[in-house]
Amino acid sequence: MTKDTPASRIRLGTRASALARWQAQWVAGRLGELGVDVVLVPITTTGDRHREGSIGSLGGRGVFTKELQMALLEGRIDLAVHSLKDLPTEEVPGLCLAAVPERGLVGDAMVSPRHASFDALPSGALLGTGSLRRRAQLLYARPDLVFDDVRGNVDTRLRKLDEGRCDALILAQAGLERLGLGTRVTQRLPLDLVMPAVGQGALGLETRAEDGRVRSAVEKLDHAETHAAVLAERSLLAALLGGCLAPIAAWGRVEGRVLTLSARVTHPSGAEQLDAEASAAPEQAIALGRQVAESLRARGAGRLIEAARQPG
């Protein structure tokens, strides 16, 4: 603690983007309702500093999370809020995922000022997305489409669309809704067309593992069903050794007392796609993720993932 920071206050690290601030302010608000004093601390990440080109060109893993984790380990903040789809599955010694609040919308959306649906896009239409996962799945469905890496915060991407730099954007539904931009959505893409990224729509609240004061406060925001679902998804991703940027998609959900995990691996060209699904008790989330990963691996998922690592 700095000399002017009360011992009871939680310092919450946040990136500067509008969506990151929304997420941090949402968490701060929920903690405030529980009587917890929270102050936001701005942190700039590698992904924020370099907004052009693909995320893979920046080194891939952790470009939006490493600096937040370092600030936690150095004691400059007490809590980091991540978009869980950006958080690598490798454990960082000294840190823990203390809570996962209830998930928002899980799927992807198309935004287009000229075309009413994905099926209505003309052959050769240019779609903007920085996600290999999205591009591969959409190419599997429509190999006649063209894709361009479009990065930056949501407002920047929408501006590029409005300037005519592409015919449509593919974005996470949750981010658009959280920013009050739901009216821009042209079509919510079906999950059988584009399965979401691991952890998409969910927030991850990370603390120091030994900080009992902060952990006990943050754990009150945990949503058990969401936590089990994303734990299964992250277990699958770790077992496939894919990393956040691989063309791997997953969707876990608890219905009744049953956790179901659907997963997909797609060749980066869209030429081949593998799907798998299994169910278990929520308490078996980690084992379920490994089971579905093994099913995909037995059918050649490793070859598709490796193709995504090849240059060009």
Q: Which CATH code is given to the segment(s) 108-188?
A: 3.40.190.10
Report d(CA 35, CA 85) in Å as an integer: 29
Contact 40, 12 (CB under 8 A): yes
Alpha-helix runs per DSSP H in 34-103: 46-49, 66-73
Q: Which residues are registered as beta bridge partners of 266?
A: 273
Strands, sheet with 187-188, edge to edge from the N-terminal-most edge strand: 146-148, 126-128, 168-172, 108-111, 187-188
For the segment 84-91, the average pLDDT, to the nearest whole number, is 91
* All residues at 6 or more sequence positions from 9 whose CB lies less than 8 Å from its CB, including other chains: 37, 38, 39
Strands, sheet with 273-280, edge to edge from the N-terminal-most edge strand: 248-255, 258-266, 273-280
For residue 286, the tally of other CB atoms under 10 A from its CB is: 17
Same fold across 1-101+203-222 and 108-188: yes
Catalytic amino acids? 86
Q: Which CATH code is given to the segment(s) 1-101+203-222?
A: 3.40.190.10
pLDDT the model gives residue 46: 59
Rounded (10°) angle between helices 18-33 and 154-162: 140
pLDDT the model gives residue 244: 65
Question: Residue 17 corresponds to which tokens in the numbers above?
Answer: 């983007």
pLDDT the model gives residue 255: 96
Which backbone phi and psi does 293 adopt, to 5 degrees? -60, -45
Report d(CA 103, CA 99) in Å as an integer: 12
Overall pTM > 0.95 = no
For the segment 288-297, the average pLDDT, to the nearest whole number, is 98
Q: What would the pLDDT profile of 209-267 be if each residue is shown by its tens digit?
A: 999 999 999 999 999 999 999 999 999 999 998 776 789 999 999 999 999 999 999 99
Residue 154 has pLDDT above 60, yes or no: yes
Q: Which residues are registered as beta bridge partners of 298?
A: none
For the segment 276-298, the average pLDDT, to the nearest whole number, is 98
The position carrying tokens 């069903």 is 225
Please state which architecture CATH assigns to domain 223-307.
2-Layer Sandwich (3.30)
Report d(CA 113, CA 269) in Å as an integer: 27
Q: How confident is the model at residue 76 (pLDDT cuts 50, 70, 90)?
A: very high
Q: 102 by DSSP, 3-state: which?
A: coil
pLDDT the model gives residue 58: 38
Q: What would the pLDDT profile of 92-129 be if each residue is shown by its tens digit?
A: 999 999 999 999 999 999 999 999 999 999 999 999 99
Q: What would the pLDDT profile of 25-67 be if each residue is shown by its tens digit?
A: 999 999 999 999 999 999 986 555 434 444 444 344 556 789 9
User: So where are the chain's domains?
Assistant: 1-101+203-222, 108-188, 223-307
Q: What is the mean pLDDT of the chain?
A: 91
DSSP 235: H
Residue 2 has pLDDT above 70, yes or no: no
DSSP 91: P
Burial 115-132 (b: 16+ CB within 10 A, else e): beebeebeeebebbbbbb
Pairing of strands 248-255, 187-188: unpaired
Strands, sheet with 10-14, edge to edge from the N-terminal-most edge strand: 38-42, 10-14, 79-83, 203-208, 95-99
Q: Which amino acid is at 8?
A: S
pLDDT the model gives residue 242: 75
Q: Which amino acid is at 57?
A: S
